[in-house]
Amino acid sequence: MEETRTVIFDLMRGSQAPISVFDDQDRLRFANDAFRATFDLAADAHPTWAEIMRSNWLGTRGTAITSADFEKWLTSAQSRRGKESFRGFEADMQDGKWFWMTETVGPNGWMLCIAVDISTLACADRDLRYDRDLALRASRTDELTGIANRRQVMEKLDELISGNAGGCIAVFDLDHFKSINDTLGHAGGDAVLIDFSRRVSGAVRRTDSFGRIGGEEFLFVMPQTPIEKALALLECLRQDLRARSPVPERPDFRYTFSVGITEVTPGDSTHAALSRADSACYQAKKTGRDRIVKA
């Protein structure tokens, strides 16, 4: 068995295809020379995927990121990354290469990534597939925040229910949002929605899903997560909002959220679980806001 492992690792290390493995926190744990060359990484570097993308964007190398708003692009990409047991997609690179990327996620949240150079494929066919992928992505992404939209995050809730493995879900509602819009204008309100989406997206695990389900409401799906762990994560998020203002022109401005959380158990239904979390969120707002209520 050990000999087989050695052979497999030697093959992966020597492959001309970029190969990498990321842990459940999306930190690089293994990368062959081809991957490190593609993304300009030192031999002993083990950054997170987000750090790789940010460094490459600043250095105009690696993945070709055409969005004018890098942070929005990153939030959107993270909302899709590793959320399926297997995913394949095409990616344009800064050096002109075109890769077919695959992500294979294990039960522990670790992910194997393999890229294959498909630059020789006909450009016309490639452009058609790229347009198709953009349209599919748009149908599952909230346009303002870049995170999952209602359709996508509800699908993840359905998967949690049908899987019968249990977990937790939470419904967020930003406090006094109408007042925020009245005070800061719609641009300020949008900045708050975007800021909140980015902060939560940066805290979710690979197995979690987070999306906007309407207005200032959001849904957080946490499979196989004990209620104590979920509550601790929500409290960390609640405290994090006090750290800085999302509006540069108003450094003194802060906002809060109310959240309802419930456990999902085998035999539960989507409607029942969502109703419990929603009712708990309503109780959080009714009893003073800026708090977490467990159903």
Q: Which residues are catalytic?
A: 216
For 224, other C-beta atoms within 10 Å of its C-beta total: 14
Count how many Cα atoms sit within 13 Å of the Cα of residue 4 in the half-sphere of its side chain.
1
Per-position b or e across 58-90, b if 16+ CB within 10 A of its CB: eeeebbbbeeeeeebbbbbbbbbbbbeeebeee
User: Helices (DSSP H) in 63-212: which residue ranges?
Assistant: 70-80, 123-139, 150-163, 177-201
The helix (H) or strand (E) run that includes residue 292 is strand 292-294
Assigned token pair, 216: 């200032």
Query: Is residue 101 helix, strand or coil?
Result: strand
Q: Which one, of 6, 36, 5, lies nearest residue 20 by Cα?
A: 36
SS3 sequence of 12-64: HHHCCCCEEEECCCCEEEEECHHHHHHCCCCCCCCCEHHHHHHHHHHHCCCEC
Biggest CA pair distance of the chain: 67
Assigned token pair, 85: 């047991």
Which distant-in-sequence residues (6+ apart) come within 8 Å of 48 by Cβ? 25, 26, 27, 28
Query: Is residue 115 helix, strand or coil?
Result: strand
